[in-house]
Structure 1
Amino acid sequence: MEIFNRNKKIEEINQMSPLTWAYVGDCVYELYIRTKLVDTTRLKPHELHIKSIKYVKAKAQAETLKDIENSLTEEEKEIARRGRNTQTHHIAKNASMQDYMYATAFEALIGYLYLTKQDERLKEILNI
């Protein structure tokens, strides 16, 4: 049984704004990090929160994307590029604009892979 509804056609997903992909990717990545921390540590909830922030903040996500860029396919690089170049009216807090743009690119990639049900590739990228 699939818990989350991912029934959009690929054409519909491709027409979405990269910010929509990033919106979903932000949640997917946060859930991945939280689940991984719960599975691998015995921290209290507040400590889990503090630890997870180290991974999900814009600077960390930007560094993660830069670290994995060479292992991305051309399609994945294009998705990340679209996410990075999308105009946003959001002002970055506690991050440089460049880090914020790269973090958005990373989240867009994660969201796109999730929405298109590329679960094996998503796992590979998250575990790099």
Structure 2
Amino acid sequence: MQPNELSGSTLAYIGDAVWSLLVREYLVELGYGRAKDLQRLSVNFVSAKAQARFYEQLHAAGTFSEEEEEIFRRGRNFKSGSVPKNTDVQIYRISTGFEALTGWWHLTGQTARLHEIWEQVRPTVGLESKLMA
């Protein structure tokens, strides 16, 4: 498999799974075990709105290389033909671009970069502080 030859939607498909696994592992590490809690809290990371916000924050900080921005655009510009009812099309496309980037990091073996990004966005959700309260 050649990640640079995959479509934006394929990269996003892989990225969605990779990001979801990071989130699930994190929530379990925090001590959550009930399926209802896990699902409710995971939305803070895996919803289109959350992923678009992560991308915008990282982009504004100049976090991404030009190559990474190109991968993001491949995912963002893919026309899926459908958008979830509760999500603005622009937000959905940005989130798809973020997922494509996540999939690309995974498929190219850039796990350190993936974890670096994860460590930058994870605290912005604030779940650790909610546990302490």
Specify the TM-score bucket, using the shorter chain as the normaliser: 0.7 to 0.9
- Over the matched positions of the two proteins, sequence identity in percent amounts to 40
1:81 aligns with 2:98: no
Relative to the length of structure 2, the TM-score reads 0.84
Q: Which runs of 4+ in 1 moved over 6 A?
A: none
Unaligned runs of at least 5 residues, structure 2: 121-133
TM-aligned CA deviation for residue 92 of structure 1: 2.5
Instruction: Please tell me the residue identity of whatever aligns with 2:56.
Output: K
1:22 and 1:97 map into 2 onto residues whose CA distance is 16
Instruction: Please tell me the residue identity of whatever aligns with 1:111.
Output: G
Query: What is the number of residues matched between the two proteins?
Result: 118
Structure 1, 19-28 or 39-48: larger mean CA deviation: 39-48
2:54 and 2:32 map into 1 onto residues whose CA distance is 25
Match of residue 61, structure 1, among 51, 55, 59: 51
1:42 and 1:59 map into 2 onto residues whose CA distance is 23
TM-aligned CA deviation for residue 91 of structure 1: 2.1
Structure 1, 99-108 or 53-62: larger mean CA deviation: 53-62
Relative to the length of structure 1, the TM-score reads 0.87
1:86 and 1:27 map into 2 onto residues whose CA distance is 18
1:124 aligns with 2:120: no
Query: 1:45 matched to which residue of 2?
Result: 35
Unaligned runs of at least 5 residues, structure 1: 1-7
TM-aligned CA deviation for residue 42 of structure 1: 3.4
